Amino acid sequence: MTNIPLAQADIGPEEARAIAEVVESGRLALGPKLTEFEQAMADYVGVHHAVAVNSGTSALHLILEGLGIGEGDEVITTSFSFIASANCILFVRATPVFVDIDPTTLCIDPACVKAAITPKTKAVVAVDVFGHPADWSELERIAEEHGLLLIEDSAEALGSTLEGRLCGSFGHAGIFGFYPNKQITTGEGGMVVTDDDELASVCRSMANQGRGEGDAWLEHVRLGYNYRMDELSAALGVAQLSRIGEFIEKRMRVASWYEEELAVWPELITPTVADPATSSWFVYVVRLSDDFDAAQRNAILAALEREGIGCRNYFAPIHLQPFYREVLGTKVGSLPVTEHVGARTIALPFFNRLTRDQVARVAAALRAAIDEVQRG
């Protein structure tokens, strides 16, 4: 049988035409498509500025750098995320302080954030995990009360909302990522989104080797990086963003199929979207019940892979990664909810063009794998 991948981009004729137009124009960098994509993203999210860059990681790095976060500062964040959200804190020589997550949304727990604040705390980086918005109302209240910068890692949540407000518009600034498994893709790519005029200007300068806006090509006003997005990627982004409504509808449909197949299984906890949030569904991650351990989860993943089913343990807690244990001295037992969840997650195939029959095949393979593990 044909393998079912974990993720797959939805690329159509519109995207092919957009890329061809850029190739034919001969303008492959720093051209009109970059500006068009930035403006379209700012308009969509409802912010004043969007700065396109080569990855979501670069976007988050620029925000931290641009806000003056640095050595001696502590930044509270989640360990249940892709590793880049913590790495960027180390990029600016600040210290990540990991706190636990809400067991339902899997986003950072505001009560844990509040408990972790010290005189060294400068900022909070919260993640909209798997496309589910964090508790931004409470996080904004805590940040304001303690004079903290609040940064939204919305790399996984383009199109998700909380109380009618789109992800990416919370906090002081936010980011998106456009890797091929995201809601829209530019191949590689990311975006800074903010209402802060000065921060947007600084991020744009740093992304372009430290050049000031309007300055000559070989004039550099600050330390910068080559984080630019090229015209081909921007053109792909414009075409993809124009289809975001269609994409979210498809992803919600696939999620509903999985819910129909899996919700009644006592061995699984299926993802929920807590009102008043909506999710644009980055991935579909189920959790095994407390009766299972990490070794059994890994055996189930291996069984699915043997059947040609793409799957992964989303996420492996950052604080337990060898590098972080060495650098920060983090240990097992420090974040019980994160560790409990991280030992039992299974990301199933999830993308726009996944069919109902493929979802049924995934469910059947998962059922067989669970039964095999339970038999021992």
The token pair at 295 is 């070794």
Q: Which of 191, 59, 132, 45 is nearest to 314 (CA)?
A: 132
Same domain, 327 and 222: no
Dihedral sign computed on CA atoms, order 71, 72, 75, 78:
positive
Dihedral sign computed on CA atoms, order 182, 152, 159, 346:
positive
225, 241, 257 - which closes a domain: 241
Number of domains in the chain: 2
Same domain, 60 and 92: yes
Range of the domain at 370: 244-375
241, 256, 275 - which closes a domain: 241
Within a domain: 66 = yes
Task: Report the chain's mean pLDDT, rounded to a whole number.
Answer: 97
Q: Is 306 left (phi over 0), alpha (psi -120 to 50) or beta?
A: alpha
Within a domain: 2 = no
Instruction: Give the rounded distance of the alpha carbon of 49 from its chain centre.
Output: 20
Kindly report the pTM of this predicted structure.
0.97
Is residue 120 part of the annotated active site? The answer reads no
Query: Where residue 65 sits, what CATH number does that domain have?
Result: 3.40.640.10
Same domain, 225 and 262: no
Same domain, 219 and 318: no
Query: Where residue 250 sits, what CATH number does that domain have?
Result: 3.90.1150.10
Among 114, 120, 182, 250, which one carries the catalytic annotation? 182
Same domain, 21 and 166: yes
pLDDT one-digit tens code per residue, 198-257: 999 999 999 999 998 888 888 999 999 999 999 999 999 999 999 999 999 999 999 999
Same domain, 93 and 234: yes
Low-confidence ranges of the chain (pLDDT < 50): none
The token pair at 328 is 């920060």
Within a domain: 7 = no
Task: Please give the pLDDT value at position 1.
Answer: 66
Under 8 Å between Cβ of 282 and 133 = no
Same domain, 217 and 253: no
